[in-house]
Amino acid sequence: MNPDLMQTEQSMYTRDIRIIRMNIRHLPEVSRLKVNDDQLPFVGHIQEILTIISGTVYPHLVMAGEQVAGFFLIDTAYGDQYDFAPVGCLGLRAFFIDQKFQGLGCGKQAVRLLPAYLQSEYPAYQEVYLTVNCRNPGARHCYLSADFQDTNALYSGGSAGPQHIMKLVL
């Protein structure tokens, strides 16, 4: 791809990134989201992820303009399920950017928007926890750049190997 064109696309998308709650009208576009094959062990297929949605697990979207560029879940009962997280915290799960939008800065911008978004959408919560696979240093770096802290502990219950436990105070 032409570097000037890529820079233009990157500027266009990062300038217009926002996070919203998913609703049913987004489902057709969300159903088409994909990650690169090498990222599947860390995230899985969107059809699998959608089955996790419940009365305590809520879907959210990363929007680039009017297009769905990414997806994530917020789990309000995360601390009830994982002993490394305190009861009463949020859990960030299944965060990913669609393969068409990767490399354009969308993920980095979305992660930087997360603290303010979560404070607005979930004002009763003080912390958000997540795990990121040890074989995914790019994702770990992205979270660190947005003020997430590595707790220096590992979670070994994931299907793709050990994961860094990270948290963000809201």
Residues in the chain where the model's pLDDT stays below 70: 1-15
Contact call for residues 131 and 165 (beta carbons, < 8 A) = yes
Contact call for residues 64 and 129 (beta carbons, < 8 A) = no
The residue written with tokens 């404070």 in the block is 119
**Token digits for 136?**
């995914």
**pTM: predicted TM-score of the whole model, two decimal places:** 0.89
pLDDT for res 1: 46
pLDDT for res 54: 97
pLDDT for res 36: 82
Domain count, the chain: 1
Q: What is the CATH number of the domain that holds 110?
A: 3.40.630.30
Identify the domain containing residue 162 by its residue range: 3-169
CA 11/CA 9 separation, integer angstroms: 5
pLDDT for res 157: 80
CA 30/CA 68 separation, integer angstroms: 7
pLDDT for res 134: 93
pLDDT for res 30: 96
